[in-house]
Amino acid sequence: MNVSEKAEEILEALWIVIEEEGDNAAHFERLSVDAADAGLQELQRLAYVEVKGERVYLRPEGREEARMTVRRHRLAERLMMDVLDLKGAEGDARACEMEHLLHRGVDTKLCTLLNHPTTCPHGKPIPPGSCCEEARHAGDTGVVALTELKAGESGEIAYLSTGNDKKMQKLMSMGVLPGNRIVLSRTFPSYIFKVGFSEFAVDDELAREIFIRRQE
């Protein structure tokens, strides 16, 4: 059962206060709610939280939902920054909108696409999902930046993260497009790779904006 967006926001703030800041409850003011708040009442009906005075406690029944809410939000932040190149206030705003859509396995697919990141762009931990454990167990590295490959390794281009038109045009002129196979020849002093029968060189900054799905 999915909770409302307002309830998710409360759960997210509550998780941060309790699990990351070390308090045992959060005051109404910290959560930007009062006793009549619809989202808070929803969580009480679900027995996810308990209210004592003006402090809200996270019940064991609500802990997993709160954890997953934080996970979805921070994965959305990574999507905004790493793939869509949206940073700052705009990226944060779009991440808040996106997180509410990452239900029923969508978060797992996004996590896999992003190569199971462990932190958000602000350095805060992303609670791991079952897909992260499975990937570690299988040795599956998912999608990585070109800079993560070693000389001689190859893969399929997954996506380009640059938002700079000139950089995008340069990559496209090289044939660096999603779905094309790329073989890394050298990593120093520049990244030299082959796409098709042609060989190209890019600097470290541009190499970090080319994301690859590894192939054996």
Query: For position 150, which CATH number holds?
Result: 2.30.30.90
Unique residue bearing structure tokens 């402090």:
55
CA distance 4 to 38: 9
Same domain for 161 and 187 = yes
Instruction: Write down the pTM of the prediction.
Output: 0.67
Say which CATH number the domain at 116 has.
1.10.10.10
pLDDT in tens, the chain (216 residues): 678 989 999 999 999 999 999 899 999 999 999 999 999 999 999 999 999 999 999 999 999 999 999 999 999 988 888 777 777 787 788 888 888 888 878 898 888 888 788 888 777 888 988 888 887 776 665 677 898 888 999 988 887 877 678 888 899 999 999 889 999 999 999 999 999 999 999 999 899 889 888 765
98-121 burial code (b ≥16 CB/10 A, e <16): bbbebeeeebbebbbbbbbbeebb
CA distances from 25 to 9, 16, 33, 59, 105 (A): 15, 10, 14, 10, 30
Asked whether the beta carbons of 21 and 72 are under 8 A apart, the reply is: no
Same domain for 57 and 15 = yes
Same domain for 95 and 134 = yes
> In terms of residue numbers, what domain contains 16?
5-64
Same domain for 204 and 147 = yes
CA distance 179 to 168: 16
Same domain for 129 and 84 = yes
Q: Which two tokens stand for residue 128?
A: 């791991």
Domain count, the chain: 3
Same domain for 210 and 150 = yes
CA distance 125 to 112: 16
Same domain for 56 and 12 = yes
